[in-house]
Structures are given as C-alpha cells and as structure tokens.
C-alpha cells in the first residue's frame, strides 16, 4: 500500500511511465478540514510521533472498522436505493491520481484521491460531475527530511485501479468539492467486485453487471423521495 501511495505522489505508474493526468493539488482549507473531520490532534502530530513501523519509518496505523454486513430482501432494496439516491458518489470509478499531505498544524497524514466515474449508479437526478475527490487518513510524506507514514488498510487504492465507490452524501462536497470519509473498500478485477470485510453493499465475488442490475432494480422498487 505504501509503495503505491508513494508512487502516486510522484505521478508514476506501476510500469514506470509518467501519469498523463494533471497532478492532484491540496488546498490549505482541505488540510484544515481533514484534521477536523478525522479528529486527529496532538497525539497524531507529525512533530511528536515516536512510534516506528517495522522498517524504521515513524508513524502509526489506523484501524478503521466499518460495522455491518450484507443485507437481504427488503432491507437490501432500501439500502441500495438509499445509496443511489443520497450518495455523493456511487458507482464504478478509476483512480487517476493521489497526493499524500500533512494536515493543518502538522496534525495527521492524509491522502487526497482523484477518481473518474466510469459508470454512475446514482439515481438520474442525483448525478453530477464525472470527477470525485476523496480525502482519507493515511499515506506517507517526507516531513523535515524524515519519512512519516500512517497506514490505513482502507486507503489502499492503486493508480489506474478500478473500484466500486460508495461515499459521502449530497451535501458532502460542499467543502472544497471533496468528500472526507472512510468508505467500504470494493476493488474490481475482471469485472468482479472483491469487497473488504465490513458493511459493503455487495458480497465479495459479485459481478459488476449483477451489482448494477441490483441497484437498478432497487430504484425501480423504491423511488427517491
């Protein structure tokens, strides 16, 4: 994960080529909002971290648990329709770029991910721009000549990787056009969804076509309010 985040910061693909998309930038307001949203404070200040990872890099690990599981029947219909009607982003996306950064007043390490929406699964009236920015806790930065790392198993997106992303709500983008969240991790490979443990809307091994069909059926059954 750390290697991929570091390569993203340099704008380099896994094959060593330059990434064509423009670099991701981070505003000062985003640095402040990230520290505020994820409730990082003095204990996570990069100036005072003393803990070290096994390879000697200073930092800490984030252990985020998204409680819940796969629901069936009417509950599943409600859940999928809620995601389609109320999410800031919901659908198939591809990671275009990312930039790790230190939060305001040196509080915490975060990464800003930029995704392009390949297939929007939201209700028609809820669809917006094809680009979404997601800010999460985690990443590796160089701070005053020393590497500092925050490991987060749910922030392991890879450059050009494809995912099903369900994050935020309709008003979540009002802060600098970014979503500050820790969404469930759903990687897509060979048109199949592979979900991490937690409250994901689809079980691991579900095909992308089946997942999208379930969303469409949920919207037909239960319209947006």
Residue-wise pLDDT for 17-53, tens only, equals: 444 678 999 999 999 999 999 887 666 788 887 788 8
Residues 186 and 163: beta-carbon distance below 8 Å: yes
- Distances 10 to 68, 100, 103, 176, 179 between C-alpha atoms, Å: 36, 10, 19, 23, 23
Number of domains observed in the structure of the chain: 1
Confidence of residue 109 (pLDDT cuts 50, 70, 90): very high
Its pTM stands at 0.85
Which SS3 state, helix, strand or coil, does residue 46 take?
A: coil
Sheet holding 139-143, edge to edge: 58-62, 146-152, 139-143
Q: How far is CA 208 from the centre of its chain?
A: 19
Range of the domain at 115: 2-221
Q: State the average pLDDT over residues 60-69.
A: 74
Cα 72 vs. chain centroid, distance in angstroms? 25
Using the 8-state DSSP alphabet, how is residue 222 labeled?
S
Q: Does 74 score more than 90 pLDDT?
A: no
- Which two three-digit tokens encode residue 157? 């997106």
pLDDT grade for 221, boundaries at 50, 70 and 90 = very high
């Amino acid at each position: 994960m750390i290697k991929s985040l570091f390569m993203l910061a340099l704008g380099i693909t896994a094959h060593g080529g330059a990434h064509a998309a423009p670099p991701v930038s981070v505003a000062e307001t985003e640095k402040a909002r990230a520290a505020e949203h994820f409730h990082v404070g003095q204990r996570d200040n990069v100036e005072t971290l003393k803990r070290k990872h096994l390879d000697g890099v200073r930092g800490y690990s984030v252990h985020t648990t998204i409680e819940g599981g796969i629901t069936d029947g009417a509950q599943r219909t409600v859940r999928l329709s809620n995601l389609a009607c109320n999410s800031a982003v919901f659908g198939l996306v591809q990671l275009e770029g990312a930039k790790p950064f230190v939060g305001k007043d040196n509080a915490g390490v975060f990464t800003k991910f930029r995704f392009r929406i390949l297939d929007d699964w939201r209700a028609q009236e809820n669809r917006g721009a094809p680009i979404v920015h997601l800010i999460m806790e985690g990443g590796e930065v160089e701070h005053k000549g020393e590497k500092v790392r925050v490991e987060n198993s749910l922030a392991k997106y890879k450059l050009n990787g494809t995912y099903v992303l369900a994050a935020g709500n309709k008003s979540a983008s009002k802060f600098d056009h970014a979503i500050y969240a820790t969404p469930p991790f759903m990687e897509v490979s060979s048109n199949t969804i592979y979900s991490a443990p937690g409250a994901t809307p689809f079980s691991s091994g579900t095909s992308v076509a089946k997942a999208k069909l379930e969303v469409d059926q949920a919207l037909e059954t239960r319209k947006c309010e």
